[in-house]
Amino acid sequence: MINTNNLFISLLTLFFILASPGTYAGPFSEGSSRVSVALGNGRLLNEDYLIIGVGAGYYFADGLEVGLDADFWTGGDPTIRELTPTLQYVFQKSSSFNPYFGVFYNRTYINNTPNSDAAGYRAGVYMPAGERAYFGFGIVYSKLQDCSNSLFFDCSDTYSELTLMFSL
């Protein structure tokens, strides 16, 4: 049996190594990388959680990023971890704001519960917050695959997101 904790940490570490900084070409240009942090709250199985997220991405073409994000849900029981590969496009029309649109697949690991899968999309805008820092404001739609109403209150969710991203 595969230890999901070790697999989760290994995949995230590998992705951060692959997305390590190279020559800086601009925040959303081919060859650029990003690291991001997220902070939020959530409720699942009648428990309230603090959600802490980290992520990394690489722009393999101008505006087009492949990424991997990880979220850790703390403060509730059971323990929850999420791993989310993403594909996102950032429109580079303005220096004051850059709209984005992306798709993702999400794998959620819940202790002593079957894992769940979701797919969805997000859209929003990045705004400069420093020389290489950006705030992201957006909206996310996610739909669970093989949803069981006995475990989850709803099989789809729409929510807002706030992200702090650093361009490398």
Cα dist. 88→5, 28, 64, 129, 142 in Å?
Answer: 27, 11, 6, 20, 15
Bridge partners of residue 127, in order along the sequence: 135
What CATH number does the domain located at 4-167 have? 2.40.160.20
35, 20 in Cβ contact below 8 A? no
In tens digits, the chain (168 residues) has pLDDT values of: 445 555 555 555 555 544 455 555 678 889 999 998 888 888 877 889 999 999 999 999 999 999 999 999 999 988 899 999 999 999 987 678 899 999 999 999 988 888 889 999 999 999 998 888 899 999 999 998 877 655 566 788 888 888 888 887
Cα 56 from Cα 7, distance rounded (Å):
17
Q: What tokens appear for 35 in the block?
A: 């690291």
Q: Report the predicted TM-score, pTM, of the whole model to 2 decimal places.
A: 0.79
